[in-house]
Amino acid sequence: MNNSRAMEDSTLSVADNGPHTLEKTSVWKDFLATIKIGIVNSNFITAFTGFWLALFFNGESFLNHLDTAFFGLVGSSLVIAGSCSLNNYIDRDIDLLMERTKDRPTVTGKFTPLTVLLMGIGLTLTGLLMLLATTITAALIGLIGAVTYVFLYTIWSKRRYTINTVIGSVSGAVPPLIGWAAVDGNLHVVAWVLFIIMFIWQPPHFLALAMRRSEEYRAAGIPMLPVVHGFTVTKRQIMVWIVCLLPLPFYLYELGTPFLVLATVLNVGWLVLGFLKYNKLEGEKWGSLMFVYSINYLTILFVAMVIATLI
């Protein structure tokens, strides 16, 4: 994630793909692309849900914790933004080989590697300091998430092992824990249920994406499951992970019957969709369908948790 002057030049030769026309963008837009604003926003939702449920289960008022909300939610977002920047810095050599990532500022040269490196370190450290203003537990969880994503996932496992998806899921599952810990450092069982839901949701989500982009991952030499073991094995693993989600909403029974019904419908719906189209769609199309469902699933589920406390 870089912070340099936007290039006015409109062309760049990318790997073996020949001349590539660059979209003229503002520095702000390039900054948002570098921190992966989509990931930051989606994780903000899960962090806020953890924060909100911590208030609910502890009988606290949101208005009495506005400062905690600011430091906790902004801090977690900065840690995520910084970690994503460092991911872009490290992966700039393989990002240029993939259609999905070839226009990132780290690839096009709009941001220099040093700028992105400093941006990543600065955002991460600032976020951790803000989390430290809430509880030590929140800051520690944020640090674990950043280290897991940058070192264990990006540097160590992503280019070596198909299990990189599972390893990366740890970092993606910590935002609701951070949100909860900002309010209550003694993590309630509900906080861990949120973590487990996020952890189990990510493999089917990212494996579906890997199916959708399997040829790009193959070209970049990234050993994603569908690249190494094919679509059949990947489909089977996706379905197993979804099955593992089925019992988890019942640990949140205190959110009420309407939530349990909705969560169960979402889980069963995902499973049924996968089975119905299992042999009817080719691998990439099946992966795209499951990927789109997974995005909507997560948003609806976590928003529903918040709404359930207001009913």
Report the 10 Å Cβ neighbour count for 124: 26
Q: Are residues 47 and 135 in the same domain?
A: yes
Confidence of residue 282 (pLDDT cuts 50, 70, 90): confident
> Residue 53 maps to which CATH number?
1.10.357.140
Q: How many domains does the chain contain in total?
A: 2
26 and 174 part of one domain: yes
Residue 31's contacts (CB-CB under 8 Å, 6 or more residues apart) are 1, 2, 3
Q: What is the pLDDT of residue 103?
A: 87
Q: What pLDDT score was predicted for residue 295?
A: 96
Final residue before a domain boundary, out of 166, 187, 208: 187
Both 109 and 43 in a single domain? yes
**Residue 100 binned pLDDT confidence (cut-offs 50, 70, 90):** confident
Among 140, 158, 187, identify where a domain stops.
187
Query: Are residues 152 and 202 both part of a single domain?
Result: no
The closest alpha carbon to 24, from 110, 89, 115, belongs to 110
Q: Give dist(CA 175, CA 142) in Å, integer.
A: 8
| Exposure on the CB side of residue 252, measured as CA atoms within 13 A | 33
- The answer on 287 and 166 residing in a single domain is no
Full residue range of the structural domain in which residue 2 is found: 1-187
Domain end point (choices 187, 217, 243): 187
pLDDT tens digits, one per residue of 69-96: 999 999 999 999 999 999 999 999 999 8
In 3D, which of 192, 172, 173 has the Cα closest to residue 53? 192
